[in-house]
């Protein structure tokens, strides 16, 4: 790749939380950023101002509903149109809420699979020709619950498990030109709806490191997979403090 030209990453769900930390980490490493958001327009406005103040014209953003199929290739086209290339895709956007067996609806299935499995796959497909031209890479954000199910969240777990398999399958389908990996975070941020303090402490105590992580830990894993992991593809990197060992 031409290292004199800043690399370009498209990051979904980048306005807040882990997505915003990934954006900041890659930007600090010299990347130009094409950022997607669904909600949180004010947060995205602030993030863009921060990034472009640090380096002019280095970040742009577009809103999109990822459940709308036509918006997926459009996002890729907007990113390439703005920066002239695409070197990385980070599928960070996600949907998470309980689906208790006995009351699961088709709408819940469609919503959770659209955000967590369908949109990442079709974004990968749309981005592949551009990534191949640059020897680029893809990182998907998955979940430890893709392998160890979370009670009351069957559809979410199934959707993330589908994304794990997509990661591994795409590593074969898109190699050797494109590397495809995933990051599975543990307790780095609690759900926005809140989690009982005692539950939080119990979860942290179950990890090998006996401490919670940070969004920055996830962001650094994404950066490493994009920049330094030249011989890794089809890997799921757990960033969970060893929690998976005791689940």
Cis ω before 189 (30° cut-off from 0)? no
What pLDDT is recorded for position 5? 87
Beta partners for residue 140, in sequence order: 91, 182
Q: What is the DSSP string of 130-158?
A: HHHHHT-EEEEE--GGGTSPPTTBHHHHH
The yes-or-no verdict on residue 204 having pLDDT over 70 is no
What pLDDT is recorded for position 245? 55
The yes-or-no verdict on residue 215 having pLDDT over 90 is no
What pLDDT is recorded for position 219? 97
User: What confidence tier does 240 reach under pLDDT thresholds 50, 70, 90?
Assistant: confident
Token pair 């863009």: residue? 48
User: What confidence tier does 186 reach under pLDDT thresholds 50, 70, 90?
Assistant: confident
Token pair 């060992």: residue? 245
Say what the pTM is: 0.91
Per annotation, catalytic residue among 37, 97, 145, 156: 156
142-146, 182-186, 210-214: the lowest-pLDDT one: 210-214
Within 10 A of 146 (CB to CB), how many other CB atoms are there?
23
Residues 53-84 pLDDT 10s: 999 999 999 999 999 999 999 999 999 999 99
Question: 8-245, superfamily in CATH?
Answer: NAD(P)-binding Rossmann-like Domain (3.40.50.720)
Q: Is 156 a catalytic residue?
A: yes
- Domain positions in the chain: 8-245
Q: Which of 167, 179, 184, 62 is nearest to 121 (CA)?
A: 167
Beta partners for residue 11, in sequence order: 35, 90
The yes-or-no verdict on residue 1 having pLDDT over 50 is no
- Rounded CA separation 157/144 (Å): 9
């Amino acid at each position: 790749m031409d290292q004199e030209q800043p690399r370009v990453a498209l990051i979904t769900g980048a306005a807040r939380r882990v997505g915003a930390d990934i954006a900041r980490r890659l930007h600090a490493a010299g990347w130009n950023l094409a950022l997607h958001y669904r909600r949180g327009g004010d947060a995205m406005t602030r993030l863009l101002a921060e990034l472009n103040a640090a380096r002019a014209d280095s970040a742009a953003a577009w809103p999109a509903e990822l459940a709308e199929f036509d918006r997926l290739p459009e996002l890729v086209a907007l990113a390439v149109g703005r920066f002239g290339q695409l070197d990385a895709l980070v599928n960070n956007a996600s949907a998470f809420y309980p689906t208790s067996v006995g009351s699961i609806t088709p709408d819940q299935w469609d919503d959770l699979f659209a955000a967590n499995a369908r949109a990442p796959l079709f974004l990968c497909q749309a981005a592949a020709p551009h990534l191949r031209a640059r020897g680029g890479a893809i990182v998907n954000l998955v979940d430890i619950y893709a392998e160890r199910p979370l009670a009351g969240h069957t559809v979410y777990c199934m959707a993330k498990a589908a994304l794990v398999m997509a990661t591994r399958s795409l590593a074969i389908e898109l190699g050797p030109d494109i590397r495809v990996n995933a990051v599975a975070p543990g307790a780095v941020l609690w759900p926005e709806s809140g989690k009982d303090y005692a539950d939080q402490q119990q979860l942290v105590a179950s990890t090998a490191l006996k401490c919670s992580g940070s969004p920055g830990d996830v962001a650094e894993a994404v950066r490493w997979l994009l920049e330094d992991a030249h011989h890794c593809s089809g890997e799921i990197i757990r960033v969970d403090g060893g929690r998976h060992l005791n689940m």
